[in-house]
Structure 1
Amino acid sequence: MSNDNEILFEKGKQNDSKLKIERKEGEPTPAFKGASWAALLVGVAAYLIGLFNATMLLNEKGYYFAVLIFGLYSAVSLQKAVRDKDEGIPVTTIYYGISWFALIVAIALMVIGLYNAGSIDLSEKGFYGMAFVLSLFAAITVQKNIRDTQRARERD
């Protein structure tokens, strides 16, 4: 009876090893990478589709587009600066400070723009705010995944 159980266990181990994807230590899982990219694409696409369909003036649309791009860049830049500093990679104080300042300004510009937007319904303001936050978070996560993957592959 125990031999049957051992054989079944061995067969189970063989099947599990065939399904398991080899990944290096420290590398994010493919599911996490995919979820991060999906969140970034959904956030940015929703924001841009909302802007395209909005009944605001072109200069207002340009403002919200510029704030999104500025926010994405500043979030990734800050994530890199924080991580470099944590890992002992030299980061100048001025760059670190500017990274924080840029992200705070991007978020402030979004909040101020939405607060003062008289032509946008409250539900649309919430939509833009949530799409903006999702995009920033996802951009940070995608950049982290890329860096973790690169570092895990360099170890070998």
Structure 2
Amino acid sequence: MSNDNEIVLDKEKEKHPKIKVERKEGEPTSAFKGAAWAALFVGVVAYLIGLYNAAMQLNEKGYYFAVLIFGLYSAVSLQKAVRDKDEGIPVTGIYYGISWFALIVSILLMAIGLYNAGSIVLSEKGFYGMAFVLSIFAAITVQKNIRDTNRARERD
């Protein structure tokens, strides 16, 4: 009787196969990758929508846009330099130092710009600051996920 039950259960499994994607060792989960991309998208789009709707002069909007792009690039560059150094991949001291310097400068430019922006109310300043930080963190995470995924797939 128990043999008949096993056959019935096996037939049920065949009717409803679960699609399971094999994840390589060291590869981030799809959920984590999706969350990182979603955070990057939400942070950048919210920041840009805020800039578009802001009652600022075009040169001010350009400043905040440039700071965002500079911050994203410097964060990814620093993440790569730190990771390379940790993995024993040669990184020149000047590149490593410039990467740190660029990220710090981008954060300072954002902070100084928001502190001195008289035309922006405090709640908007907080919005821009949080969207900026979210975008930078998400860019670092997306870069890490891409690198981890590529490395995991290269092992096979």
TM-score (norm 1): 0.90
Change (3 A) 1:19 1:110: same
Structure 1 residue 20: Cα displacement: 2.9
Three-state SS of the structure 2 residue aligned to 1:120 is coil
Structure 1, residues 50-93: CA drift from partner, whole Å, max 9, x if none? 00000000000000000000000000000000000000000000
Q: How does 1:89-104 map to 2 (within 5 A)?
A: 89-104=89-104
Task: Find the aligned partners of 1:136 and 1:12 in 2 and give their Cα distance.
Answer: 47
Structure 1, residues 86-118: CA drift from partner, whole Å, max 9, x if none? 000000000000000000000000000000000
The match for 1:42 is 42
Task: Find the aligned partners of 1:105 and 1:11 in 2 and give their Cα distance.
Answer: 63
Task: Find the aligned partners of 1:100 and 1:12 in 2 and give their Cα distance.
Answer: 57
Q: Give structure 1 stretches of 5+ with no counterpart.
A: none
Structure 1, residues 119-145: CA drift from partner, whole Å, max 9, x if none? 000000000000000000000000000
What amino acid is aligned across from residue 97 of structure 1 in structure 2?
G
TM-score (norm 2): 0.90
Task: Find the aligned partners of 2:97 and 2:137 in 1 and give their Cα distance.
Answer: 20
The match for 2:152 is 152
Q: How does 1:99-118 map to 2 (within 5 A)?
A: 99-118=99-118
Aligned length: 156
Structure 1 residue 21: Cα displacement: 2.0
The match for 1:72 is 72
Task: Find the aligned partners of 2:66 and 2:25 in 1 and give their Cα distance.
Answer: 38
Q: Give structure 2 stretches of 5+ with no counterpart.
A: none
Task: Find the aligned partners of 2:82 and 2:51 in 1 and give their Cα distance.
Answer: 32
What amino acid is aligned across from residue 109 of structure 1 in structure 2?
L
The match for 1:52 is 52
**Is 1:25 aligned to residue 28 of structure 2?**
no
Change (3 A) 1:132 1:8: farther
**Is 1:120 aligned to residue 148 of structure 2?**
no
Task: Find the aligned partners of 1:130 and 1:11 in 2 and give their Cα distance.
Answer: 53
Identity across the alignment (%):
85
Structure 1 residue 7: Cα displacement: 7.8
Q: CA RMSD in A?
A: 2.1
Structure 1 residue 5: Cα displacement: 9.3
